Amino acid sequence: MKLLRPELLITTGELDHAEWNYRPFLGWIQRLRFKAVKSLLSEVQYHRMLEVGYGSGIFMPELIRYCEELYGIDIHRKVDEVQKALEQAGVNAKLYSLSIESTSFPSNYFDCVVAISALEFVHNIDAACQEIRRILTTDGFLIVITPSYSKILDLGLKILTGKSAILDYAGRREFLLPKLLEKFSITQSLKVPSVIGRIVPLYNGLKLRPKHIMREP
């Protein structure tokens, strides 16, 4: 699995913890999300792929392997710095400072949208789901990795990182899946890690398809 090298990582905001991927143990936990995405992508080659909440671009060196054109949106303003870091790594991606609640992309534009630990930070999940469905082709896929809700896991996060899941997510984790299922159907799901995840999953991985709707011309 190819990630952006540590020396190229740029901190783009308070919620961007790309450096965690290179810490002992915590890095193993972080990389589980990326391995889940690889499994859900299934080595399929897509035309246009969008990563929602790309942050420092750490996973883009891997995502570029699965598509002809790679795009990324995030609400931070360090697009140029991340673009230069990716170029140094040989990654050609089109980055934008946008919210997934409302983008400027045409309808039916992407055949794959990837969101890794991103949608649970969006304030208006309804708007985000509606927008993803709009920009996704009718036969396209949405790949979502989201953290599980557990007091034990939240305590572990606090011990390892000093971060509060309750403050960071503000209750949005519990409502994300029901909102997604209003507009998407699950085609594949994973509990991460694969073995102990059946009992205490750290993350949930979902591969979804848009429910059939009348598209705007």
* Range list of β-strands (E), 4-153: 46-52, 67-74, 93-97, 110-116, 136-147
Residue 70, token pair as written in the block: 């790679």
Contact 98, 75 (CB under 8 A): yes
pLDDT tens-digit profile, the chain (217 residues): 999 999 999 999 877 778 888 988 878 888 999 999 999 999 889 999 999 999 999 999 999 999 999 999 999 999 999 999 999 999 999 999 999 999 999 999 999 999 998 998 898 999 999 999 999 999 999 999 988 765 445 444 454 455 544 444 445 567 788 889 999 999 999 988 775 545 667 888 999 999 875 444 4
Separation of alpha carbons 70 and 106, rounded Å: 15
Query: What is the H or E stretch that residue 182 is in?
Result: helix 172-183
Query: What class is the 6-10+39-210 domain?
Result: alpha beta
Q: Are strands 203-210 and 184-192 parallel, antiparallel or unpaired?
A: antiparallel
The whole-model pTM stands at 0.87
Contact 73, 36 (CB under 8 A): no
